[in-house]
Each structure stands twice: as structure tokens, then as C-alpha cells.
Amino acid sequence: MIDNSASIDRLAAPEPHSPLVERVRDRVLRARGVLDRKDGAATRARRRTGSAAASASIAGKTPMSREVRALRIVFRELGETHRQYRRRTQAPISSVLRTAAIAFKQEPTLMSLVPVAGFLDDMQLLEW
């Protein structure tokens, strides 16, 4: 039998000296795990109530992939971290950060999220 506890521990507490790409990937994987659990619970609830068709028609949009949803969750966390910093310091938003955020919004990928996290990491605002 495969022991998954080592991989779960690694996702729960990435080492601060690990490369930023790995730390961001770990954070996105944790967000994806949360989404997987939520989506699984929602699917089970729809099966019990028989409302799968109703919820599909209410959405009316093409659903985002779980990966994109997880990336956006981490992006919003980073945004909240930076907003808290700006409230404390009254610092203006950096044009470098704004450019990185726009690039992520245009193409939400792990590699476009890393510069956003890198900006905050350079300012020592990330706790992960």
C-alpha cells in the first residue's frame, strides 16, 4: 500500500526556502483539494435532492476548470495579503505588481501567478 501521508505533509507545510514555483504550486494544490472536497459534497447533495438539472440551468455559464478556480483562489489570497499591507503602510500599488496581476487575469496559469507571488515574497509578505 502507498503511504500518502508524506505528500500530504509536504502540501500542508512547504518549506520557506523551497523555490517559489514549488511553493505556489503547493498552495494551488491545496486550494484544488478544497475545491475537490466542496465539489464532491455539492455533487452528492444534488444527487440526493435531484437538482442537478436545476443547478446547471442556474449557472448558465461554462464552468471554469478546477485548476483555474484554484489558481484564482490563490490569486485572491495574494491580493488580500497585499491590500492588508497597503492599508498598514499607505503604500501605493506597484506598477510591476499591477502588470503581473493583469497578465495573470488574461491568462490564469501557474507560471503567470508566480510573478505575483514573487513580488509579495520579495517584500516578505508571504507566510508560506
What is the pTM assigned to this prediction?
0.71
Query: Can you give the pLDDT at residue 18?
Result: 77
Residue 15 in any domain: the answer is no
Domain that holds residue 116: 20-122
State how many domains the chain has.
1
Residue 39 pLDDT level (bands cut at 50, 70, 90)? confident
Across the chain, the runs of DSSP E, i.e. the strands, are none
Residue 27 covered by a domain? yes
Long-range contacts at 13-21 (CB < 8 A, ≥ 24 apart): 14/128, 16/128, 20/114, 20/117, 20/118, 20/121, 21/110, 21/111, 21/114
What's the burial of 24, exposed, middle or buried (CB within 10 Å: 0-12/13-18/19+)?
Answer: buried
Question: Which percentage of the chain shows pLDDT scores above 70?
Answer: 69
Q: Which three cell numbers stand for residue 24?
A: 505556489
Instruction: Examine residue 35 and state whether it is found in any structural domain, yes or no.
Output: yes
Q: How confident is the model at residue 20 (pLDDT cuts 50, 70, 90)?
A: very high
Residue 2's pLDDT band (cuts 50, 70, 90) = very low
**Residue 5 belongs to a domain:** no
* Domain-embedded: residue 37: yes
Instruction: Give the separation between CA 27 and CA 19, rounded to whole angstroms.
Output: 13
Within-domain flag for 1: no
Residue 5: band (very low, low, confident or very high) from pLDDT cuts 50, 70, 90: very low
The answer as to whether 10 is a domain residue is no
Residue 11, domain member (yes or no)? no
Instruction: Indicate the average pLDDT of the chain.
Output: 81
**pLDDT above 50 for 8:** no
